[in-house]
Every structure is written in C-alpha cells, then in structure tokens.
Amino acid sequence: MVTKTIFEKSVKNRTGFSLANSKIKTDVKELIPDKLRRKKQPNLPEVSELDALRHYIEISAKNHFIEKGFYPLGSCTMKYNPQINEMVCTLPGFTHIHPMQPEASVQGALEIMYELQKDLANISGFSQVSLQPVAGAQGEFTGVNIIYNYHKSKSRDPKKIIMPDSSHGTNPATTTMHGFEVVEIKSTDEGKVDLEALKEVVDDDVAGFMLTNPNTLGVFETQVKEIADIIHSVGGLMYMDGANMNAILGYIRPGDMGFDITHFNLHKTFSTPHGGGGPGNGGVGVTAELEEFLPSPIISKKEGKYYLDYSAENSIGKVHSFFGNFAVMVKAYMYIKMLGEKGLKRVAENAVINSNYVMNQIKEYFPVPFHDDIMHEFVASGKNYREYGIKTLDIAKRLLDYGVHAPTIYFPLIVKEALMIEPTETEGKETLDGFIEAMKIISKEAKENPEELKKAPTKPPIARLDETEAIKNLDIKFDFNQEK
C-alpha cells in the first residue's frame, strides 16, 4: 500500500490551523523594505487537521517499533520505554520553560539535572558528569576534545588515537573530525584487543585509546586494565564508548576499569526512546583530574539552591546551544530513580542472560566466531548460507516477515556476513524462543528454498527497495512540477 505524499493531498485554501486575527494590522510593506521581502512563496501543503492526522497515522502504521515487536538491533539497545516517563516529561512545567529564565524559576529542572549528574557519576565510578552532549557521537566529540585540552594543558601535542578494528563507525569519524589521526589495531582470535599489536603502535604520540567494553562483538575485554596501563604509561587517556553499558550496569564501572572518560547513551542504557533516530543524550563522565575540562555549565548546588555553574576554568566550552536535551534527561532520571541499584543490576543480568541464551540456541545454525565472554549481545554469521546464494541481507529481510526487526547487519566488519543480535533485558523467554524458532526456520528455508528467501520480505507494507536506484536517480524532495 503506497501512501501519497502530503503534497499530493493538498487542497487549495484548506487549513488545519486557527489563529485569532491580530488587532495590530500594520502593513508588512511598511515594516520590511521591498528588497528584503520574499518574492516566491514556499509551496507548503494545504490540508485540514483531520487530513494531516489521517496521513501521519497511516504512515506511522508502516513502522516497526518496540511496543509492536521484538527489536534485536545489535548495539542499539532497543529496550522497552516506560510509559510513565513519556507522560511526565510532557508536563507544562517541563515543556514550557525557556533556557534563559532566571534560575529561581527553574529549580525543579535544575534539581533533576543535578541528581542525574550525580546518579550517572555513581553508576560510572566517575567524579563528575556533563549532560550537555545530545548524542553518543557528540559525547565522543566532547571526550576527544577533553583529551585534546588535557594534553594541551600539559604542553603536549600528541596526534594519534588508537582504537580496535571492531569499533563503532562514530569512533574513527569523531577522531578525524576533531583533528586527530586514527590508528586501528587488529583484534585477536577471541575478538579482543591484541595487546602485542597495541604495544607495537604505542609511543609518545598517542593521545588516547577509544574502547567499547563490552566491545561491539559483545565480548568483554578482560584485559582492559592492562590496556589502560599501557596507554597511561605514555601519558595517554582511556575513553570508553558507553554504547554497551547496559551489560555492566551496577556490576562494573568504567571508572574502575581504568577509563578516564566515558559517554552515556541515555537513549540506549537508560530507556529513553530513540524517536526514529533521535533525540538522544550523550552525557560525558570523567575522573576528578579531568573535571575542569567538562563543557560548561554543569549544575551545582549551594545553600539549597541549584545553579548553572560556569566556574570550570579550563572548560572545553560548549557543544550545544544550551544545556543539552533536557526532556531526555527527565526520562533517564525517572528510570534510574525507579530502578535503584538493585534494578540496574537486574537489567545487566537479564541483558546478559538473554543474549547468552539466544546465542546458545542459534550458534549451531549461525556460527558465532567470537563466543567467549559474551555479554549483552553477540555477532553471528550468515556465511554458511553463501553456498546456497543467500546473504545476510536475505536473512535479515526474511526476519521482517516473522514480525521481528532485523539485527544490525554487516557490522562489525571483522565478522563475515555479520548479524549483531542484542535482545535486551526487557524481553521475556517466550519472545526469545520465538526468535530462535524463526532463525531455525530461516536456516532451513535458506537451504531448501533459497529463491523464495531472496524475495523476502513479503509481509511488510512494501517489498525490498532498490537502493541503487535511489542513488542513481536522486529524488530527495517532492517535485511540484511533476504533479501538474
């Protein structure tokens, strides 16, 4: 079922909006000189409120979302988003406050931010947290900038940041965007950082090391302390990409593993929804030594009053116009307050058990090359089906027919035909069993009826889409001339 664009539904002079006529009727031409006035009016649609709602409800039904079904998208931690968070964060005392209001008029907001800073510091084993970065990648940028400013403060100018070849794409992208040079090192056969390879590239020109722990293979880097010692021995700093923190909540803290900086993904670990791509929050935690470099302001408390604290003299400055994604912070705050320490530990336990359970059941069909010390996710391979002409893409698309969102595919790059599977803690055994069953059926289909599998998906509102055509005949906005 194809839905026309909203532009094709436009009817001249229809509107979905009412605004009282103003009693102030000065002629626009008197207020803006002719040369500054727009000549060609933009072509916005004209529809009624009902037209608009029908349109967006119709297309919304074409989405897969967490309340509809299982979402084992590796590295993305698609857990359930508690409804109470969504309800409370829309209270007017949160939605209708302006960032330039006097501090006395936003004490409730500042208290939430202060408490969240403190809770995240406790959860990560760090001394202070900035909530300002609004996404994981911006958290990384903030972290790398702190690394840069830390070295600068010591009159050093190292150029290199090291990371394993299994790292998230944002790690190398952030590093070069900031102005550092990326040094990638190979992983061992166990999927861990190769200490020998690391020692070979480490020298005085190393500014830091970026590591996700557990890493993107879902494997816990058991030698993380040794890695930290090697990096620290040349004056470098350890950065933890916090995307996989769900696996270790309450049990292991980045601050205790030898890391100096980490970012949190509130939109993964702390249950704030992903919004179809954002908004997120990529707050950054640091050791006491690095506190002075955090973005300003942080929220502090004095004589019972909360305030925006700009006192950090060596602050890297700002990464966001204001204080970050406040509405997202409210949800994460509530989540942590509802779970407490015991609840956070249950999260890690169930995330790890669910992942190991699924791996255990499907590895016979989809081998898992790196399977020791698996935590909250694992990476299986679809390579066994190449001989039947089946690619991981076909397997992923077939899963959509079984009502499951596909795992992350073709990442990390070091696993051939990768299927990165993260069940999360909120799923129950029956859901996992259903997924395992679907994977077994697909395995059978791949061998017995590969041609059918290549036609997948058949159940979603649309069949497989031609990405090559999208690039070749670039069509990224509606063509109003074509309509006529």
Among candidate residues 328, 333, 362, the one with its CA nearest the CA of residue 434: 362
Nearer to another protein, 108 or 416 (CB): 108
Write down the least CB distance from residue 445 to another protein, Å.
18
Rounded to a whole number of angstroms, the minimum distance from the CB of residue 1 to another protein is 9
Q: Smallest distance from the beta carbon of 204 to another protein, in angstroms?
A: 18
DSSP-derived secondary structure for 312-357 = -TT----SSSSSS-HHHHHHHHHHHHHHHHHHHHHHHHHHHHHHHH
- The amino acid sitting at 205 is D
247 in Cβ contact with 79 (< 8 Å):
no
Nearer to another protein, 170 or 387 (CB): 170
Which is nearer to another protein, 64 or 440 (by Cβ)?
Answer: 64
Residue 98, CB-side half-sphere exposure with 13 Å CA sphere: 3
Smallest gap from Cβ 140 to another protein, in A, equals 7
H/E run at residue 183: strand 181-185
CB nearer another protein, residue 387 or residue 455? 455
Nearer to another protein, 133 or 369 (CB): 133
Residue 300 vs 356, nearer CB to another protein: 356
- The answer to whether 453 and 441 are in contact (CB under 8 A) is no
Q: For residue 310, which of 298, 323, 325 has the smallest C-alpha distance?
A: 298
- 129 bridge partner residues: 285
Helix (H, G, I), strand (E, B) or coil at 284: strand
Least Å distance, CB 384 to another protein, is 22
Burial annotation 98-125 (CB, 10 A radius, 16+ → b, else e)? eeeeeeeebeebbebbbbbbebbbebbb
Distances (CA, A) of 9 to 366, 458, 478: 47, 28, 13
Q: Which two tokens stand for residue 238?
A: 């350890």
Backbone φ and ψ for 237, nearest 5 degrees, come out as -115, 155
Phi then psi for residue 378, to 5 deg, are -150, 165
Whose Cβ is closer to another protein: residue 177's or residue 387's?
Answer: 177
Nearer to another protein, 337 or 387 (CB): 337
If one counts every other C-beta atom within 10 angstroms of the C-beta of residue 222, the result is 12
- Indicate the residue among 17 and 387 with the shorter CB distance to another protein: 17
Residue 444 CB, nearest distance to another protein (Å)?
21
Q: State the number of CA atoms in the 13 A half-sphere of 390 facing the CB.
A: 28
CB of 301 to another protein, least distance (A): 14
Smallest distance, Å, CB 81 to another protein? 6
Q: What is each CA distance from 33 to 26, 38, 39, 40, 83, in whole angstroms? A: 14, 10, 12, 16, 51
Helix (H, G, I), strand (E, B) or coil at 161: strand
Cβ 379 to another protein, closest distance in Å? Answer: 15
Beta-bridged to residue 418, according to DSSP, are 381
- Smallest distance, Å, CB 52 to another protein? 5
Tell me the pairing of strands 298-302 and 305-309.
antiparallel
CB nearer another protein, residue 179 or residue 289: 179
